[in-house]
Amino acid sequence: YLFTPGDIYQYDACFQKVAQIEFDVSGDQDGLADPSVILDDAGDINLFFLPSFNDEDLTGCNSYPCIKQIQHATPDDDSLESFTGTVTAAIEALISSGSFSDPEVVLRSDGTYIMYVSAAQNTFAFVGDSLSDSFTIPDAYELGDSGFLEISSDSGGVPGAIAVGDEIWLYVTTNTDAGVDIIRRVVSSDGLAPAAEEDFTTVLSPELLTSFSSTSSLSSPSIIAWPDSDWVASE
């Protein structure tokens, strides 16, 4: 499945679209943005998103400071046409400047979850014991000037992440001096270690993809494990 605000696209193993599903989420919001999904232990879809309100700045504040939320919802049935939001937001954060967007959730080897959130060229981290919990800033980590745990500080935002063994591989969009976006990766044992600029490795750039021009931008990474032989093409 590929989630967009208001629509879900279903693909087969050959990446051919086999269905398009319109969906909505219960709650006070007028819409949603930046949908991010993860499966729980039962294989059920958990949706995280920014609530959208017609009179509010979507990722920032009409006036600072303000409260920004990441909300959580689960499908009402297998049709995926309607989702019910949880009463408590997954994250409720007070921001004094900038933006707060693009959630990404990853399961760690110890059974806890990290939610990464983008703030322009920064990436913040929050931890939850389960997908239905509120995600909070973990103790024992030094916070950045933003007041959040900054995994990436001016090194890249719009995160995507995957667990590889006992490591967390975090991918970010970084704007270069040439004015184009590239994708970079940083690896850590717990997914919470603040990363220095030299810790990042470029994994996608115009130079690495010869079919792209030097002015092409590559951004907004999302990564999954390549499906195994059980994933078959639809008829």
Question: What's the whole-number mean pLDDT along residues 139-149?
Answer: 92
Rounded to 5 degrees, what are φ and ψ at 72? -130, 140
pLDDT at position 55 over 50? yes
CA 28 – CA 47 distance, rounded (Å): 16
Query: Which of 6-20, 92-106, 132-146 is the most confident on average?
Result: 92-106
pLDDT at position 8 over 60? yes
pLDDT at position 157 over 90? yes
pLDDT at position 131 over 50? yes
Give the pLDDT confidence score for residue 226 in this predicted structure: 79
Match 């913040």 to its residue by tokens. 124
Give the pLDDT confidence score for residue 232 in this predicted structure: 62
* pLDDT one-digit tens code per residue, 165-206: 999 999 999 999 889 999 999 999 999 999 999 999 999 999
Q: What angle do CA 25, 129, 161 make, to 5 degrees?
A: 70
DSSP annotation of 225 reads: P
Ranges assigned E (strand) in the chain: 2-4, 7-11, 17-22, 24-25, 31-39, 45-52, 66-75, 82-85, 91-95, 101-107, 113-119, 122-128, 150-152, 157-164, 167-175, 181-188, 201-204
Provide the percentage of residues in the chain whose pLDDT is more than 90: 81
Give the pLDDT confidence score for residue 100 in this predicted structure: 97
Report residue 54's pLDDT band, with 50, 70 and 90 as the boundaries: confident
Q: What is the dihedral of CA 169, 173, 178, 180, to 10 degrees?
A: 130
The pTM assigned to this predicted structure is 0.94
pLDDT at position 234 over 60? no
* Token pair for 12: 């087969």
Give the pLDDT confidence score for residue 229 in this predicted structure: 65
Comparison of pLDDT for 192 and 211, the residue scoring more: 192
CA 84 – CA 76 distance, rounded (Å): 6
Question: What's the whole-number mean pLDDT along residues 221-230?
Answer: 80
Half-sphere exposure of 125 (CA within 13 A, CB side): 30
Match 């819409």 to its residue by tokens. 31
* Token pair for 151: 């995994």
Rounded to 5 degrees, what are φ and ψ at 197? -55, -40
Give the pLDDT confidence score for residue 235 in this predicted structure: 47
Helices (H) and strands (E) in the chain, counts: 0, 17
* pLDDT, averaged across the chain: 93
Question: What's the whole-number mean pLDDT along residues 212-235?
Answer: 80
